[in-house]
Structure 1
């Protein structure tokens, strides 16, 4: 009996997805709840589990197809077993042919996305010898590139003299092009960012922050903090709490426009931009204004790990009243971040570097960071934006303000 596997509910307001890759091919054994396909939504990749145990049947759609919630993806034959060739047939086959078939079969059992398969063919590596670091041990393009690099750096035995090149050989130093279809997530990122520029009156204000006090506090308490809370004390916790002070004092920065109304929030849900294999995602630290440093750091660390593993959910990224994006981890000195609609403001953090500054009439070297606040000028006046950024600066330069709510 064949059971249909349908596109599951993908989250609030999400009605369709793109088939990213098939994790099971027709004839493969499938366990109950074992993922058989990966779907790409606007924000996350979603694994589709098998509702029954059996054998993978027919794929009803292809990789790259757009499917709606409830559509049939494939069938699973319940209670079956993977098809196998009779033992007698194997014994009758000539030895060289049997060896070739076994080798190909081993390689085919490695689940690879189109991008990974292209990399395997391009670099001539054996996928069965590579340990995957992706979800459920799947190969990623980075795994293949690392294996290819390792292979190139390994001294090889002296090859036999190669025949002279023929006229049909490809010329050295050729210029190639590759066309790769944008993932649904990348398409959505592009649309949302362009939409933000088209619909909002974007403006950015800058300031710089002396990070001496925060660095000193981290150095002094990092070991005790890690021992007590089992989490590393990072910079993001400081900026999240400093932002909460600013959003409380300047409510418009924590609001958004809906039609001809302004929606204000009496809570702070901070979207934190983290890097994922398919692009930038923004999971939400909810009620950041009510959480302590340890819980904020734990939430962010958990989001980062799950973003790399591809296990973030739609719920993790829904909502959010304000965004913090840290380009400094990639070495950015200064940038003008774009707001995350329908939010009205985003805080951009950048790298810390020693710079000469004047303190009490003396030139001293201090660890400085440029910070930027991009905002929707339709809702937030320049005075309010500058005030909010100044509050964040003062809280970072004097962390005691975060303890006594100044």
Structure 2
């Protein structure tokens, strides 16, 4: 598979990368526009520290999924997908589901795969963390949900392209494959901003958390800041709505966690108003 020193090797697309190839080929239909903001992660860091005392350690990505899922409850028109074609169609989903990406290994290849948290707006952070742990702690061949990916990788390239497009073209089931929003992170490396390629209406890119000087009440203080980007499909929503969503996710994450109900069954985001 890999070239020997002094020699160029040409070979068919490796099976482990075929799902990514088909995804990128299909993603050309989406019309992405990008926004970003910086978030003070002090409250999230405090919540995370408290979780190690009361139970399982919660990852940062879970708190982000929680915030996005709760905010999307307020914007059902963004919880949607568009189907390209002679007669374009649009589906608006009643459930909120989060697709998240992860690094996995298939043989000698390092690849990106995605997991799904169904009904993420109804789950506690502890429940969501268990889902993420399930994907992270198992080998690819031991994850039942990757059966379709393994099948796609085994198909000839021309047939895999057809199969992928048929699956994604079904608006009624697309949310079960792709979620209703995506979150992807390079925050484990010193990457400040990440602007992802999208395969649904909303995709959030997460950068690293860095201590930075910020001005608060005319005083310079050091706060843990994180860049959060949003790529959105302009066919489905406009920039003003996307900006509202991103701004309210920021407010949710920066809001004082002491007023958030611990069971996460119902969260009153009083800073947004109604």
Q: Identify the residue that residue 61 of structure 2 maps to in structure 1.
A: 236
Contact 1:346 1:374 in 2 (8 A): yes
Are residues 1:334 and 2:207 paired? no
Over residues 67-106 of structure 1, what are the superposed CA-to-partner deviations in whole Å (9 max), with x where a residue is unaligned?
A: xxxxxxxxxxxxxxxxxxxxxxxxxxxxxxxxxxxxxxxx
**TM-aligned CA distance change 1:260 to 1:399, over 3 Å:** farther
Structure 1 Cα separation of the partners of residues 48 and 19 of structure 2: 38
Structure 1 Cα separation of the partners of residues 10 and 146 of structure 2: 33
* Aligned-residue offset at 1:319: 4.2
Over residues 87-137 of structure 1, what are the superposed CA-to-partner deviations in whole Å (9 max), with x where a residue is unaligned?
A: xxxxxxxxxxxxxxxxxxxxxxxxxxxx5xx89xx8xxxxxxxxxxxxxxx
Structure 2 Cα separation of the partners of residues 353 and 367 of structure 1: 5
Structure 2 Cα separation of the partners of residues 185 and 247 of structure 1: 33
Q: Identify the residue that residue 296 of structure 1 maps to in structure 2.
A: 128
Task: Map 1:2-401 onto structure 2 (within 5 A).
Answer: 175-196=6-27, 198-226=28-56, 232-258=57-83, 259-278=87-106, 279-306=111-138, 308-314=139-145, 318-340=177-199, 343-398=200-255, 400=257
Over residues 44-75 of structure 1, what are the superposed CA-to-partner deviations in whole Å (9 max), with x where a residue is unaligned?
A: xxxxxxxxxxxxxxxxxxxxxxxxxxxxxxxx
Contact 1:242 1:402 in 2 (8 A): no
* Aligned-residue offset at 1:399: 5.2
Contact 1:212 1:366 in 2 (8 A): yes
Structure index of larger Rg: 1
Q: What secondary structure is seen at the aligned counterpart in 2 of 1:221?
A: helix
Structure 2 Cα separation of the partners of residues 204 and 181 of structure 1: 33
Over residues 336-376 of structure 1, what are the superposed CA-to-partner deviations in whole Å (9 max), with x where a residue is unaligned?
A: 11112xx2111111100111111111111111000001010
Over residues 3-28 of structure 1, what are the superposed CA-to-partner deviations in whole Å (9 max), with x where a residue is unaligned?
A: xxxxxxxxxxxxxxxxxxxxxxxxxx
Structure 2 Cα separation of the partners of residues 207 and 182 of structure 1: 37
Q: Identify the residue that residue 264 of structure 2 maps to in structure 1.
A: none
* Aligned-residue offset at 1:392: 1.0
**TM-aligned CA distance change 1:399 to 1:187, over 3 Å:** farther
* Aligned-residue offset at 1:253: 2.5
Name structure 2 gaps, 5 residues minimum: 148-175, 262-266, 270-274
* Aligned-residue offset at 1:188: 3.0
* Aligned-residue offset at 1:245: 1.7
**TM-aligned CA distance change 1:324 to 1:177, over 3 Å:** same
Contact 1:214 1:399 in 2 (8 A): no
* Aligned-residue offset at 1:263: 0.8
Aligned residues: 228
Structure 1 Cα separation of the partners of residues 136 and 255 of structure 2: 28
* Aligned-residue offset at 1:280: 0.8
**TM-aligned CA distance change 1:348 to 1:186, over 3 Å:** same
Which one has more relative contact order, counting CA pairs under 8 Å at least 6 apart? 2
* Aligned-residue offset at 1:383: 0.7
Structure 1 Cα separation of the partners of residues 256 and 15 of structure 2: 41
In the superposition, the TM-score normalised over structure 2's length comes to 0.76
* Aligned-residue offset at 1:195: 2.7
In the superposition, the TM-score normalised over structure 1's length comes to 0.52
**TM-aligned CA distance change 1:219 to 1:314, over 3 Å:** closer
Over residues 278-336 of structure 1, what are the superposed CA-to-partner deviations in whole Å (9 max), with x where a residue is unaligned?
A: 41111111111111111100100111122x44322346873411111011123321121
